[in-house]
Structure 1
Amino acid sequence: MIILIIILPIFAYLCLKISSLKDKSLYLFMIIYPNVGFIGFPLLQSLFGKQSLLLTALINMPFNLSLFTLGMMIMSNNKSFQIKKLITPGIIASLIAVILYIFSISLPETLLQPIQLIGNMTTPLAMIIIGATLSKYPIKKILLDRKIYLFTIFIDLIIPMIFSPLVHFLIKDTMIQAMTMIILVMPVANGAVLFAKRYQQNEFLAAKTVFLSTLLSIITIPVVALCFI
C-alpha cells in the first residue's frame, strides 16, 4: 500500500516536474492510478486463486481513498476535497466484502446472482464509454501518436523495472511481491477518461492512452511477470 499510494505518486510527480509535457495533471493521474479494478481483480484471481481477492480488496480500499482525494485534487487542480465524496460504491462494497469474509457470512443465491450480473456489467460499460470517446477521432490520431507509445512503455515497463528491487526488498512474502508487481504493470485505469470528462481535462488523450496501454499490456504483463517476478 505504501509503495502504490505514497512512493509511486512522489516518483511520478518528480518525473513530470522535470518533463516538458503538457497536460501534466492528467499524465500524473495516469501514472499514479493503474487499472486495479477492471483488470487487476480478474487477473490476480486467475494467477493466484480466490485467496488473492481479499488481499486485492484490502489494497483497493486505500487505493480508492487516494483516487477520490489526491486523484480528484490533481484532476480538478484543487487543493481541497469534501469528505462526503469518499463515500463511494467502491469503498462501501470493499468494506462489506471484508466484513463478510471476517465473519464468514454467506449470502443467499437470490442475492448473489443479481449482484454478480451487475458487477459483470462494469467492464463492458467502461469499454463502451472509452470506445464512444475514441469514435469521435480519426484512427490515425489514435494509433500513430508516438508520444503515447513512449508514455505507455514508461508506465507499463520502465516503472515496474525501477520498482522491482524496492518491492523485493520491502516485501518478503513472495505472493504479495508478485501481486504488487502485477498491479504496477497494469495499464492506465479506465477512470482516467471519466475524470478527464468530469474535470474538463484532455479527454481524447486519456481515452487513447487507456486504449493503447491496455492493448500493449497483452505484451508488457507477461514480460514483467517472466522477468521480475
Structure 2
Amino acid sequence: MLELFSQTLAVTVPVFAMVLLGIVLKRIGWIDSAFIGTASLLVFKGCMPTLIFISLLKADTHAAIGFGLLSYFTLAMLASVGLALAWGIWRIPREDRGVYVQGAFRGNCGIVGLALAVSSYGDFGLALGGIFAAIVIVIYNVTSTVILAHYSADIRSSWRDNARGIATNPLILGVVLALPFAFFDIGLPDWLMRSAQLFADLTLPLALICIGGTLSLAAIAQASRIAVSASTMKLLGLPLVFTALAYALGFRGSELGVMFLYFGSPTAAASFVMARAYGANDKLAAAIIVLTTIAAAVTINLGMFVLGSIGAI
C-alpha cells in the first residue's frame, strides 16, 4: 500500500506542480492569453498526436490479451460515456454540459493510467496498458468531438461536420497512422524517433502550464458544484460501477488491476485542450482536471487497497 501510494504521488505531484507553475507564470506576466491559445493549439495539433504515435509504436500489440477482456473494457468505456451524458442531460445546464460530460468520463489513461499500470505490473502492464490506451484514445476523441460540437455555443455543426471533425481530429489521426507501424513492426530511423520523442515530451508540461494559466480560484469557486460533480463521477462513480461489474464477471489479478487504474485515472489534460478548441468553458475543464488530479492520489490508492484486501488483485 505504501509503495503504491508513493508511486501514485510520483505521478500526480509533478502533474499538479506544473499546473501551479502555470498559475505563477500567468501571475508574474511571463505567459499571457495569446501564449496559452497558441500553445494549446500546438499541443492539440502537434505534440499530443506525436506522443500517441510513439506510445503505440512502443506498445506490444502482439501480446496474448484475451478477447473477452478487451471487449469488456471497450464496452465499459462506451457505457461510461453514456452514463455521464445521461446525468449531464438531467442535471447540468446546457452551456456547461459538453465540458461536464467530457470531464466525467475522459481519463488521463495514456499518461497517468499507463504509468501506474507499468509501475504495478511491469511488462504486462505496459502491453495491456498500451492496447487499452489505443482503445480509449479513439473512444474519447470521437465521443468528445461529437459532444463538444453539439453543445458548443460558437460552433453549430451537422452530422457531416461532426464526421469530418472526427476524421480530421489530430489525436485520432495519430492512432490511425501508428497502427500499421505497430502491427507490422515497421521501424523508424533512430534519429527520427529521437526527434519525435523530444517533440512529444512537450505535451504534458505545456498542456498543464496552459491549464494553470487559465485557472483561477474564482473560476473554481464559481464552477464548484459542476466541477465537484464531474470529479465525483470520474473518480468514484464510474470506477466503482465498472470495477465491481468486472469482478462479478470473473476478472481477477493484473487484468482487473490495470482496468481499475484506467477507470480511476484523473481527467485528462486533453479535455482542456479540446474544450478550448471548441469554444467551451475551458475554466470549468481546468477545474475538473485539477480536482481529479489532486483527489486521484487518494481514490486510486484506496481502490487498490480494497481490491487487494479482498484478494481480487
What is the TM-score when the length of structure 1 is the normalising length? 0.82
- Counterparts of 1:83 and 1:121, CA distance in 2: 27
Q: In the alignment, is residue 142 of structure 1 matched against residue 220 of structure 2?
A: yes
Q: Which residue of 1 aligns with 2:208?
A: 127
Of residues 71-80 and 212-221 in structure 1, the stretch that sits farther from structure 2 once superposed is 71-80
Structure 1 range deviating more: 44-53 or 139-148: 139-148
CA contact under 8 A between 1:61 and 1:94: conserved in structure 2?
yes
Rounded Cα–Cα distance in structure 2 between residues aligned with 1:65 and 1:143: 33
> What are the superposed Cα offsets for residues 57-92 of structure 1, whole Å, 9 maximum, x if unpaired?
322233222233221111111562235743555445
What letter matches 1:158 in structure 2? G
Instruction: Give the structure with higher Rg (CA).
Output: 2
Q: Distance in 1 between matches of 2:123 and 2:158?
A: 38
Residues of 1 paired with 2:122 and 2:170: CA distance?
Answer: 25
Shift of 1:186: 0.8
Specify every segment of 5 or more residues in structure 1 that has no aligned partner in the other structure, as ranges.
Answer: none
223, 235, 244: which one aligns with 1:165: 244
Unaligned 5+ residue runs, structure 2? 1-72, 151-156, 308-312
After the TM superposition, which residues 75-94 of structure 1 pair with which residues of structure 2 at under 5 Å, given as runs? 75-77=148-150, 78=157, 80=159, 81-83=162-164, 85-86=166-167, 88=169, 90-91=171-172, 93-94=174-175
The CA distance in 2 between the partners of 1:195 and 1:92, in whole Å, is: 15
Question: Contact (CA 8 Å) 1:26, 1:202: kept in 2 or not?
Answer: yes
Q: Which amino acid aligns with 1:32?
A: F
Tell whether 2:111 aligns with 1:38.
Answer: yes
1:8 to 76, 80, 83: 80
3-state secondary structure, aligned to 1:114 = helix
Equivalent residue of 2:91, what SS?
A: coil
Alignment map for 1:199-210 (pairs within 5 Å): 199-210=278-289
Amino acid of the structure 1 residue aligned with 2:247: H
* CA root-mean-square deviation: 2.8
1:222 paired with 2:295, answer no
CA distance in 2, matches of 1:79, 1:33: 23
Asked whether the equivalents of residues 105 and 234 of structure 2 are also in contact (C-alpha less than 8 Å), the reply is: no
Asked if the contact 1:65/1:86 (under 8 Å) is kept, the reply is: no
Structure 1 Cα separation of the partners of residues 210 and 89 of structure 2: 31
Q: Distance in 1 between matches of 2:168 and 2:258?
A: 26
Note closer, same or farther for the CA distance 1:173–1:79 as it changes in structure 2 (3 Å cut): farther
**Match in the other structure for 1:60:** 133
Paired amino acid for 1:5: M
Instruction: For 2:229 and 2:85, locate their aligned partners in 1 and report how far apart those are by CA, in whole Å.
Output: 18
Q: Which gives a bigger RCO, structure 1 or 2 (Cα 8 Å, sep 6+)?
A: 2
Residue aligned with 1:68, SS: helix
Take 1:21 and 1:94, find their aligned partners in 2: how far apart are those partners? 33
Q: State the shift of 1:42 in Å.
A: 1.9
C-alpha distance in 2, partners of 1:99/1:176?
A: 26
Matched, 1:191 2:276: no
Distance 1:88 1:54 in 2: 25
How many residue pairs align between the two structures? 226
Asked if the contact 1:73–1:79 (Cα under 8 Å) also holds between the matched residues in 2, the reply is no
Task: Please give the alpha-carbon distance, in whole angstroms, between the structure 2 residues aligned to 1:20 and 1:85.
Answer: 25
State yes or no: 1:182 paired with 2:254. no
Task: Give, in whole Å, the separation in 2 of the partners of 1:199 and 1:105.
Answer: 35
> Which among 112, 120, 128 is matched to residue 47 of structure 1?
120
Q: Contact conserved, 2:114 with 2:133, CA < 8 A, in 1?
A: no
Q: Percent identity?
A: 22
Greater displacement, 13-22 / 63-72: 13-22
C-alpha contact 1:167 1:181 (8 A) present in aligned 2: no
Deviation of the 1:184 alpha carbon: 1.0
Q: What residue is the counterpart of 2:146 in the other structure? A: 73
